[in-house]
Structure 1
């Protein structure tokens, strides 16, 4: 890489923690909440049919593709209304789901690698999801968290990458974006002018001929090792 890296942006879901078990636990927590607070919903729905309704809402409101929170609230309101339950319970239902959604189990190398990276350069979270780093406990390692919901557009749209670069006071080519998703993270960052890291924990084959990621690692710890070896002394953070 010819130019120094002055900052790193990171995806969250499936980059810092696996998301599938998180969502499964959150859906179970919501199911148990309905059993206690709005049992009529469970007379009509299983976890699988509630998931299908949530997907249907996403398809019905493509203008909310950047806002998983809004989609979830619409789905919850429909579940309650169709079951003739109190729709005023929407916020309580959402909080039940969201609290469990923020109970993540990090990949083994995540926390130590983030500590090493943040000691070198500023970190920013850049995610299409709605996980809250403050609740999760990682926010002290990040300069800021920018979500698609807050920005108004989701990755791979270039504007969300450029907004993060502006907040970091860096040119796009000075920022390294790290993520697991080929289209959202690697190609999105490339098109926006950032350098990219494909965090390929599953050791998949790269699915395109061009462009390839600038770097590819199978763990976040390997990225921290690379940064230690390549960051120029004058580029280190104070």
Structure 2
């Protein structure tokens, strides 16, 4: 009997501690949300605004590159670039989650120079720009957010780093004619574009692979398909 009473007392104590912990966590979260204002976050707000302006500009740049690729007779590259533009839209959606609480103002796309006449040169410039931002400004913004205690914002920046570095590699592959052939898909949550079959899960945000969206690759023209057929095959 004494053992049962002791067990009941222990369980009741554990439940009480858990309830107290949950209440303390909710109070802490409420205080943190109340303090999440433009005045309090300081440089973190400026970083978020700069990231939004930069994503808007990259989305526009990828759309222009996609049109240029199709005009140059490279529709597959155009489809991949469209997927990269969709990735920038995913980044903007993630950044928008912080806009409301901060009452953030609208931003204009960052100013980028006009594209060079050569598509491959434009792709190399885009790759360099993506790499510079992901290893520079984005990394610094993640560090500032982490120091200020905004782990969710720091995590978002780390995801952006990985996705943009992967995008930079894809741009270089297209510029060098080394883009992987076949299927592509992209993660609708973080914007990661991957070659080949859908992965089991996203390596950046861990979203299940079955939620990935396929990149609509253009059908090969009949004349080109006929040239690829082995001899003697009708």
TM-score by length of 2: 0.29
Looking at both structures, which has the greater relative contact order when contacts are Cα pairs under 8 Å and sequence separation is at least 6?
A: 1
TM-score by length of 1: 0.28
Which has a greater percent of helix? 2
